[in-house]
Chains A and B, each alone.
Chain A
């Protein structure tokens, strides 16, 4: 890849790294990543992947920007309240780095569209805020064989893991079924420290870049749990479950499921 002078300057701190170099930066520029959710997690993930020069970045979210988002969703602003989140984020990311092709997709993700939405992308990032989507994305990535960097946040605690289908456990190996509606509170009910998604989203973006570069170790088979109040990071090993309903030897789930019944529609 031939870099322009501006690109040499923009990416110089990457190119200088032995683990990246010109070849690594070219790989980043060729990568296609899809981020599910343009909220607390999707904003920092998209922001840093844009800064890093990822070639194509798709953003999927059906919501519009609200004042109550601005405490943590750093791609949006008072000027974009009422605008679709994916459009608001596209404007912000474009201003940061016009090299990156941002694909704003204002849709509600479902079992009927998810396979089409992720098909053209190399890596999927889950920054959704609800269990139906989390399980749908997990199952779709397992079925499509797409690497998935999954993150979640609530109150002062965040967690993430990287799922490589066929080469490590999936989300259902850890928790076979989503919790019953109402058992786990949403951010809307329980609150979330505004900076927490910045930490978890930053870690998710780091996982994505390592997957693109093929360098280092990703969080495969491990759940990283960050407690912001105590300032602790804990890694929990996740064994692959041979009888996992979606990635096990005899999967019982062979078609995608929408668990929307009973869950709050937006949060």
Chain B
């Protein structure tokens, strides 16, 4: 599978709700439509809720991947301003 190069990456490890989605949302707000945000996190609930909320807001989820025992990587394309 082709590797996606994100335009912006944020590390929100150690953060819990509602910080997790707030940080993710502020990051995506600051980006241009079409750009890709990568999020590194270790809060399992947010690994489910961030993609769902982002989709509700019209963004495109490219990847939700558990990369080790504790961490997830999300990739989201900004589809809507």
- Interface of A toward B, CB cutoff 8 Å: 3, 5, 8-9, 12-13, 15-16, 18, 21-23
Residues of B contacting A21 in the complex (Cβ-Cβ under 8 angstroms): 25-26, 29
Q: Given the complex of chains A and B, what is the CA–CA distance between A8 and B53 in angstroms?
A: 17
Does the CB pair B19–A9 fall under 8 Å?
Answer: yes
Does the CB pair B29–A8 fall under 8 Å?
Answer: no
Q: Given the complex of chains A and B, what is the CA–CA distance between A8 and B16 in angstroms?
A: 12
CB distance from B1 to the nearest CB of A (A): 31
Extra contacts, 13 of them, besides A12-B19, A16-B25 (Cβ < 8 A), are A8-B19, A8-B22, A8-B26, A9-B18, A12-B22, A13-B18, A15-B25, A16-B53, A21-B25, A21-B26, A22-B25, A22-B30, A23-B29
Q: Given the complex of chains A and B, what is the CA–CA distance between A9 and B26 in angstroms?
A: 13
Residues of A contacting B25 in the complex (Cβ-Cβ under 8 angstroms): 15-16, 21-22
Residues of A contacting B21 in the complex (Cβ-Cβ under 8 angstroms): 16
Residues of A contacting B19 in the complex (Cβ-Cβ under 8 angstroms): 5, 8-9, 12
Q: Given the complex of chains A and B, what is the CA–CA distance between A179 and B25 in angstroms?
A: 52
The B5-22 residues at the A interface (CB cut-off 8 A) are 18-19, 21-22
Contact of B26 among A13, A15, A18 (CB under 8 A): A15
B57 within 8 A of A: yes
Q: Given the complex of chains A and B, what is the CA–CA distance between A261 and B58 in angstroms?
A: 58
Q: Given the complex of chains A and B, what is the CA–CA distance between A9 and B22 in angstroms?
A: 9
CB distance from B22 to the nearest CB of A (A): 5
Residues of A contacting B57 in the complex (Cβ-Cβ under 8 angstroms): 18
- Interface of B toward A, CB cutoff 8 Å: 18-19, 21-23, 25-26, 29-30, 53, 56-58
Chosen A-B contacts, 21 in total, with CB atoms closer than 8 Å, are A3-B26, A8-B19, A8-B22, A8-B23, A9-B18, A12-B19, A15-B22, A15-B25, A15-B26, A16-B18, A16-B22, A16-B25, A18-B56, A18-B58, A21-B25, A21-B26, A21-B29, A22-B25, A22-B29, A22-B30, A23-B29
Residues of A contacting B29 in the complex (Cβ-Cβ under 8 angstroms): 21-23
Residues of A contacting B23 in the complex (Cβ-Cβ under 8 angstroms): 8
Residues of B contacting A23 in the complex (Cβ-Cβ under 8 angstroms): 29
Q: Given the complex of chains A and B, what is the CA–CA distance between A22 and B21 in angstroms?
A: 12
Most A CB within 10 A of own CB, among B19, B56, B58: B19
Q: Given the complex of chains A and B, what is the CA–CA distance between A23 and B22 in angstroms?
A: 12
What are the 9 closest A-B residue pairs judged by CB atoms, nearest first?
A12-B18, A22-B26, A12-B22, A15-B22, A22-B29, A8-B22, A18-B57, A21-B29, A16-B21
CB distance from A252 to the nearest CB of B (A): 47
Q: Given the complex of chains A and B, what is the CA–CA distance between A93 and B4 in angstroms?
A: 48
Most A CB within 10 A of own CB, among B23, B26, B29, B56: B26
| A3 to chain B: closest residue by CB | B26
Q: Given the complex of chains A and B, what is the CA–CA distance between A25 and B76 in angstroms?
A: 23
| B56 to chain A: closest residue by CB | A18
Q: Given the complex of chains A and B, what is the CA–CA distance between A12 and B21 in angstroms?
A: 9
CB distance from A3 to the nearest CB of B (A): 8
CB distance from B26 to the nearest CB of A (A): 5
